[in-house]
Amino acid sequence: MFLFKNAVADRDRGRRAQLHPSRGKLAIAIAFSAVAMLTANPAAAQTAPAVVVAAAEMRDLRQAATFTGRVISLQKIDVIARVPGYVEEIGFTEGELVEQGSTLFLIEDDAYVSSVQQAEAAIKAAEAALRLAEIEKDRRSQLVQRNAVAQSELDFATASYDEAAAQLAARVAQKADADLNLSYTRIEAPFAGIVGLSVPDVGALVGPQSGALTTLTSLDPISVEFPVASSIYLNYRKQVEATGGRPADVTITLPNGDVFDQKGRIDFVSSQVDTSTDTVRIRALFDNPEKRLLDGALVRVGLTGSEPEMALSVPTQALQRDQLGYYVLVVDGEAKVEQRRVDVAHSVEGFSVISGGLETGEQVITEGQNKVRPGITVDAALAAEG
């Protein structure tokens, strides 16, 4: 039965072929044509993969490094009373800028004024005693010259004069001490800065044992200290020497991500290496006219070479690496891909400096490397053109 059905089926196919001979020939012709096209041009079977390329160019790639730093005021003091007394006046607004010489506190000075007046009176008495001793010494000297009195009397008069002179000097020193104590009743700002909270109120009794009355912090200029690995520091020294002694440009980024609008200058490098971290402490100074940098703030410090450094470079994303080292995929003038081994010196801000293996102007693939292989044709577009 199975054989019979197959025989019937073969007969029916033969009849259909006789009834439609042109349809069979057309299908065979189309099939042979497609095979011929694929054999003649294999690339026509697929679209060239799209990639993004960038040119190897000479760029100003100054070496740069970033560190974590701490803002530190150049001047910061605790304001302490040097003489005891009651606070009579507070001459500042807490948290505000005060100028050098501004009065911060006034201590009741009646007792100190009295001490100055007493010292002045003592000086006048000592001056009178000295004049009298001088007169007596001169008289005794004349009498000795006439042999009217013994030399011992002149010696005694001379000693009395010297004693009176010493008493006057002591009284002058006492007045200076009294004047100094009186001056201490007016507590002034030794430098311009931001004043802190006032500990005592008006009427409080203060003195040397009272502790800090307030704090005063200088903010302009201000310093930033940061540790640098000793190896980086040595490279920095080498670069400075190569540029004729010009130090690196110093910038900082604030805690909120803003770049500070003033550039700094390195003014101190420690002479010792921290053995626990193998770092060297460096300090940079910044002008801070708007007081945006605050004492104790944590910032990011950037060091950038001061002189232009032109170098052949490509975007770092173009680099590939295997067991043999770095390579890039180059697109030639016929849009074909070539694998090229390259020597990489260093990377700066998203670009890698190429010290060998590429020429200026050659196009390297920066996006789409995973879609291509050496030898194939690609549809390349410059990175700037998308």
Which residues pair with residue 226 across a beta bridge?
Answer: 282
Residue 11 lies in a domain: no
Directed axis angle between helix 151-183 and helix 110-145, to 10°?
160
Q: How confident is the model at residue 22 (pLDDT cuts 50, 70, 90)?
A: very low
Directed axis angle between helix 21-40 and helix 2-19, to 10°?
80
Are 283 and 352 within one domain? no
Please tell me the distance from the alpha carbon of residue 122 to that of residue 173, in angstroms, as a whole number.
Answer: 11
Sequence-distant (6+) residues with CB within 8 A of 244 are none
Are 176 and 111 within one domain? yes
Please tell me the distance from the alpha carbon of residue 220 to that of residue 71, in angstroms, as a whole number.
Answer: 12
Question: In this predicted structure, what is the pLDDT of residue 267?
Answer: 87
Residue 203 lies in a domain: no
Q: What are phi and psi of 68, to 5 degrees?
A: -95, 125
Are 322 and 345 within one domain? yes
Q: What is the mean pLDDT of residues 123-135?
A: 93
Above 90 in pLDDT, residue 125?
Answer: yes
Structure tokens at 29: 């012709």
Question: In this predicted structure, what is the pLDDT of residue 40?
Answer: 47
76-90, 104-118, 372-386: lowest mean pLDDT where?
Answer: 372-386
Closest CA to 104 of 199, 32, 19, 229: 199
Question: In this predicted structure, what is the pLDDT of residue 304?
Answer: 78
Structural contact between residues 161 and 133, judged by C-beta atoms closer than 8 angstroms: yes
Above 70 in pLDDT, residue 77?
Answer: yes
Are 158 and 254 within one domain? no
Are 229 and 299 within one domain? yes
- SS3 label, residue 164: helix
Range(s) of the domain holding residue 241: 66-73+220-304
Please tell me the distance from the alpha carbon of residue 384 to that of residue 254, in angstroms, as a whole number.
Answer: 31
- 65 or 18, which is more confident: 65
Could you report the per-residue pLDDT of 255-275, keeping only the tens digit for each? 888 899 898 888 888 989 989
- 135 or 32, which is more confident: 135
Q: What is the mean pLDDT of residues 66-90?
A: 94
> Of the candidates 284, 304, 324, which is a domain's last residue?
304
> Of the candidates 304, 337, 355, which is a domain's last residue?
304
Are 286 and 366 within one domain? no
Are 93 and 179 within one domain? yes
Please tell me the distance from the alpha carbon of residue 246 to that of residue 226, in angstroms, as a whole number.
Answer: 20
Please tell me the distance from the alpha carbon of residue 229 to that of residue 237, in angstroms, as a whole number.
Answer: 12
Q: How many C-beta atoms lie closer than 10 Å to residue 164's C-beta? A: 21
Above 90 in pLDDT, residue 11?
Answer: no
Please tell me the distance from the alpha carbon of residue 214 to that of residue 98, in angstroms, as a whole number.
Answer: 13
Residue 320 lies in a domain: yes
Residue 341 lies in a domain: yes
Could you report the per-residue pLDDT of 157-192, keeping only the tens digit for each? 899 999 999 999 999 999 999 999 999 999 999 999
Question: In this predicted structure, what is the pLDDT of residue 176?
Answer: 95
> Taking CA 88 as the corner, what is the angle to CA 83 and CA 90, rounded to the nearest 5 degrees?
95
10-19, 230-239, 292-301: lowest mean pLDDT where?
Answer: 10-19
What average pLDDT is seen over the chain? Answer: 84
Question: In this predicted structure, what is the pLDDT of residue 237?
Answer: 80
Are 289 and 317 within one domain? no
Are 322 and 295 within one domain? no
Residue 92 lies in a domain: yes
Highest mean pLDDT among 35-44, 144-153, 241-250: 144-153
Residue 31 lies in a domain: no
Are 229 and 194 within one domain? no
Exposed / middle / buried, residue 214 (Cβ in 10 Å: 0-12, 13-18, 19+): buried
Structure tokens at 209: 């044992």
Highest mean pLDDT among 36-50, 51-65, 78-92, 296-310: 78-92
Q: What is the mean pLDDT of residues 241-253?
A: 76
For residue 73, what is the DSSP state? -
Please tell me the distance from the alpha carbon of residue 358 to that of residue 58, in angstroms, as a whole number.
Answer: 12
- 218 or 1, which is more confident: 218
Residue 135 lies in a domain: yes
293: region left, alpha or beta (phi > 0 left; psi from -120 to 50 alpha): beta
Are 320 and 298 within one domain? no
Q: How confident is the model at residue 27 (pLDDT cuts 50, 70, 90)?
A: very low
Please tell me the distance from the alpha carbon of residue 328 to that of residue 347, in angstroms, as a whole number.
Answer: 15
Residue 16 lies in a domain: no
Q: What is the mean pLDDT of residues 131-142?
A: 89
Structural contact between residues 303 and 282, judged by C-beta atoms closer than 8 angstroms: no
Above 70 in pLDDT, residue 341?
Answer: yes
Structural contact between residues 157 and 136, judged by C-beta atoms closer than 8 angstroms: yes
Please tell me the distance from the alpha carbon of residue 312 to that of residue 217, in angstroms, as a whole number.
Answer: 48
> Of the candidates 198, 230, 261, which is a domain's last residue?
198
* Structural domains in the chain (count): 3
Q: What is the mean pLDDT of residues 65-82?
A: 93
Please tell me the distance from the alpha carbon of residue 112 to that of residue 42, in angstroms, as a whole number.
Answer: 107
Above 50 in pLDDT, residue 2?
Answer: no
Structural contact between residues 252 and 70, judged by C-beta atoms closer than 8 angstroms: no
Are 249 and 172 within one domain? no
Q: What is the mean pLDDT of residues 232-248?
A: 74
Question: In this predicted structure, what is the pLDDT of residue 299?
Answer: 94
What CATH number does residue 329 fall under? 2.40.420.20
Alpha-carbon Rg for the chain in angstroms: 47
What CATH number does residue 294 fall under? 2.40.30.170
Question: In this predicted structure, what is the pLDDT of residue 307?
Answer: 63
